[in-house]
Structure 1
Amino acid sequence: MALPVPSPRAPLPVEGGGALWYERRLGWAAVAGPPVALLTGLRFDVLELPADAGAAVLRRIGPAGTGPVALVEGRTRLLVGAGAADELPGLLDWLEWGGVGLDLTAVGAGGRVTAPEPPGNPDGPWCRGGPRGPTAAAPRDAGGAGGGGPGTEQGAAVWLRPPEPGREVEPTLPALTHFGHGPGGGAGLGDRGGDVPDLVRLVDTAASECHRARLLRGESARTKSQPLAFS
């Protein structure tokens, strides 16, 4: 009896630790694992910040305001245009965030980040024998504009806003554009139009929320350390 031919729209098997899914369905350079890694600096770079700050950024920007977004070991990773990692230090200085202890880093040319579980492959190797969901542990990559390497811990990385197979990723990614005028005629910061923010606005928002989250964590720690007062 002849085996049925699978639908071309069905998810590809997660072969080679999932690297082939990313290569064939998205055209992204990937390295087989474990853990599977995506190479940065080719089609995208990655901004990385704490998950609490990242959640605030996503609330402010809205679901249509970023490219793909992942969560890995308590860190939010936002895909941005290739070359953005090199621009980050200068942007932070220009936005007057330079010298502030922000936990905001970038991975660019020559780097790699842990690949989240491919959308539509719930039985992939990330899930078998390990935890699932946003709270699961995952490998932590070394951050920095020049690159990074995957850690040794095993766990699950998940997409908060997954990429769409068959759709070019570059037009959806925040990138540094020329300074000009906004759609309404007012001064703009290189807005690309639509709902996708330019890199300047995204970095400013991310820096603000990183700073806010750090202050809130500090205040919470001080409150917990203070002894109870009794009358």
Structure 2
Amino acid sequence: MGGLFSTFSTFGAHWAAWSAVVASGVFHGANPAMGWLFATALGLQRRSRTALLLALPPIALGHAASILLFTSSIAVLGAWLPVLMHTSGLHWVLGALLIGWAAWQHVRGHRHRVRVGMTAGFLGLAAWSALMATLHGAGLMLMPALLPMCGGAAASGAGVVGPLEVSVAFTALHTLVTLATTAAIALVAYEYVGLGVLRRGWVNFDWLWRGALVATGTLMIATA
């Protein structure tokens, strides 16, 4: 735990990276596909605020599992191949992957909607959340923020532990912000707005999400 807290203490040196983690958490939490829409619908169907609140932990857990999968993979890569973290080739590959993922979402993403029933249990809801985050490429959005920190930790001789602590800290902070945003929107929708707002008019988050993937990929390539 001490190592994790010391990782958060590097905020001053990497404020831009940590700010990006917080901003992405807000953006992910505001996306209906990441869980607040399901939690609200569940609460309205059962006419129970408790049902809504009980849906939030598995949604957050599944999202965290997906994010950790991506961030820890990059962390391990940075630990074992520290030189690669500073090469333009990796930035080009990850940037192209992000842009390609956005193109796939635009062309075929709508054909692979993941459906889950209102009777899904804790594990089922967590698995759905993890799959949704993975298919949307949520973890990939954190790559521009994660790469400099993992590369720095690896280059300074921190070894595997340092970069992995960074990935865990990134995942923890991102998940907490995402959960807070998801809970706030779900509760407002449940208590005051209802789901009718989606019929009257709503921001097209599919387009926003693809735009964010393209923007992140472009940033990766620009900083190569």
Higher relative contact order (CA 8 A, sep 6+): 2
TM-score normalised over the length of structure 2: 0.30
TM-score normalised over the length of structure 1: 0.30
Which structure's residues are more often strand, by fraction? Answer: 1
Which structure's residues are more often helix, by fraction? Answer: 2
